Each structure stands twice: as structure tokens, then as C-alpha cells.
């Protein structure tokens, strides 16, 4: 059954805050990311679930010029706050103390509300329907 995923910027606007986002990189080949075969993806999802940390699949920043299929992106529902225990736990799992990633094929981002607001016009009723008509 098809699943409708929210873009990470729409999630930030809905929550009215900065949000945490994981992106998985493809290997050095021209194919799309087969995230279901990535050990990093399954390890991260398993860890999030074992820690009771809320997460969901999401799309990348919405674009009016690019369409692509889901590539394993994850929204982690923990506020970006360096004094927050859950944030520090997530950060310690994903990054070494020097800030480099523990997983070579994963990028850990903070999508700021300010950046997300650049796409606020996407939230207008009928925006994507009208966009699809002109695609």
C-alpha cells in the first residue's frame, strides 16, 4: 500500500522548531540508495526503538524542481538542545566526540525552522495539487 511521507521541512513547520534528520548515502554507484540493505540504517532504527526514541520515515527538504523516491531518511523526534539528555544520547550514538560520524554512509543534520520556513508556501491549501498540474 502506498505511504505518504512528510518532508522534513514540513515536519519542522508543524512542530514549530528545529528538527533532527538522518540521510543515508549511496555507495559509489549510480543507483538510488537501497536503505533496506544498509547495516547502518537497520542498526540506527533498532537502537532508536530500543531506547524508546520516537522517529519516523520522512522525505528530504521539499523541492519544486526534483522528485525522488524514499531513500531511508529519518526524522528523530528529539529537540535540538545540547543540554537535553535525549539529544546528547542520540548525538553520542551517531557521532564521535570530535563531531565526525560513526557511520560512513550517514549524515546527521539539524534542519532549522528558519530553513523550513523558506518552504512555508508549500503548506497553502492545494499547493501540491496545483504544482502537479504543471509538472
Q: Are 43 and 6 in contact (CB under 8 A)?
A: no
Q: Is pTM, for the whole model, over 0.85? A: yes
Those residues with Cβ within 8 angstroms of residue 25's Cβ, 6 or more apart along the chain or in another chain: 33, 104, 105, 106, 107
Write phi, then psi, for 20 (nearest 5 degrees). Answer: -95, 140
Residue 107 falls inside a structural domain? yes
Domain range for 35 is 8-133
Q: Who has greater pLDDT, 69 or 29?
A: 69
pLDDT in tens, 112-132: 999 999 988 888 888 777 777
Whether residue 2 is contained in a domain is answered as no
The answer to whether position 1 is within a domain reads no
Do residues 58 and 8 make contact, with C-beta atoms less than 8 angstroms apart? yes
Domain count, the chain: 1
pLDDT digits (tens, 9 = 90+) for 70-94: 889 999 999 999 999 999 999 999 9
Amino acid at each position: 500500500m502506498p505511504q505518504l511521507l512528510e518532508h522534513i521541512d514540513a515536519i519542522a513547520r508543524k512542530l514549530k522548531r528545529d528538527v533532527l534528520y538522518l540521510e543515508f548515502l549511496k555507495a559509489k554507484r549510480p543507483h538510488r540508495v537501497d536503505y533496506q540493505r544498509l547495516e547502518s540504517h537497520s542498526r540506527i532504527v533498532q537502537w532508536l526503538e530500543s531506547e524508546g526514541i520516537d522517529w519516523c520515515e520522512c522525505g528530504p527538504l521539499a523541492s519544486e524542481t526534483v522528485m525522488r523516491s524514499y531513500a531511508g531518511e529519518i526524522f528523530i523526534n528529539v529537540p535540538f538542545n545540547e543540554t537535553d539528555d535525549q539529544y546528547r544520547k542520540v548525538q553520542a550514538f551517531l557521532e564521535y566526540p570530535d563531531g565526525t560520524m560513526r557511520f560512513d554512509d550517514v549524515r546527521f543534520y539539524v534542519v532549522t525552522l528558519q530553513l523550513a520556513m523558506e518552504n512555508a508556501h508549500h503548506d497553502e491549501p492545494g499547493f501540491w495539487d496545483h504544482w502537479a498540474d504543471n509538472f
